[in-house]
A and B are shown apart, each in its own frame.
Chain A
Amino acid sequence: MNLRRDVFQAIADPTRRAILLLVASQSMTAGAIAANFDTARPTVSKHLQILTACDLLEQKQEGREIYYYINAKKMKDVADFIEPFREMWDDRFNKLETIMKNYTPKK
C-alpha cells in the first residue's frame, strides 16, 4: 500500500478525522489513541501510519514511548484549501445523478 497518499484522502475518513481531533487536544501514544475507538488496534495503527505519511501527524520519542503530535502548519494548509468544499458538492451532485438516473415520472 502506498502511504504517500493525498492528504485529502487522509481526512476523508471519519476515524482519521476523529484521531486528528483527539491528538489536537494533546499529544498521545498509539495505545492511548486506540483506547478511544472500538476499532481493532492494528486498524488504528494503519490510520496513524497514513496520517504520519501525509505529515498531518508527527512522531516524537519520549523515553520508551512514541508520542503523536498534530502538525499544526499542515492542518492549516488543509483547512485553508478548497478541496473539502468541492467534495461536499461532488457528493451532493453524485447523489443527484444517481437519483435522477433511477427516476420514473409520476403519472
Chain B
Amino acid sequence: MERKTKINAEDGKQEILITREFDLPLELLFKAYVEPEIVEQWMSTKVLKLENEKYGGYQFETTDPKGNVVFRANGVIHDFVPNRKIVRTFEMENAPFDAQIEFLEFEKLSDDRSKLSMHIVYRSIALRDQLLQLPFAQGINMAHNRLQDIVNKLK
C-alpha cells in the first residue's frame, strides 16, 4: 500500500507537519479548499460559512441522520494568498481542546502535480498527543454505534 500522506510528529513537540502530493494541478488543489460544495464532499461535513479572505472566518457542522449535531468546528482566517497559502485557526466546539493554528502551503510541482504542506501548532505537547489519538477513539465509537444498531435489530 502506497502511503501518499506523510506525517511528521516529533516526540516532545507541540506541532506536526502533514505533507501530501496530489496528481492535480495546483489550481484544482487550491479550489478544493475554497469552494464550499467541494470542501463538504471531501471533509464529509456541512460548510456553514467559508470566507476566503484575510480576517474572514469559517464554520463546519456535521449532523447525524436524525439531525443531531455531532461535530462543529470553526476558525478565523489570518492570511489568504490564492494558490499559495492559507493561515487559519481551527477549534472544535463543545470539546475539551483548545484552538490550534494551521499554516497551509500549496506548491506547484509540475503542470499536473502539486503539493500541500500543513503545519499545525497546538497549545501544548499533551494536547497534540491527545488529538493525534482521537481518530482511533472515533473509530471505536463508530464501531460501537454500529454494534448498537445490530443489537437494536435483534431486540
Contact = CB atoms under 8 A, between A and B. Distances in A.
Given A95-B42, A99-B38, A100-B29, A14 B146 contact: yes
Nearest to A15: B143
Given A94-B4, A96-B42, A17 B143 contact: yes
A53 interface: no
B132 interface: yes
A18 to B, nearest CB: 4
Give the size range of A's interface with the partner: 20 to 34
Contacts of A97: 22-24
15 contacts: A14-B139, A14-B143, A17-B139, A17-B140, A18-B143, A36-B147, A80-B133, A82-B132, A84-B136, A85-B136, A92-B43, A93-B22, A95-B41, A96-B22, A100-B32
A36 B38 CA distance: 38
Interface of A: 11, 14-15, 17-18, 20-22, 36-38, 78-80, 82, 84-90, 92-97, 99-101, 103
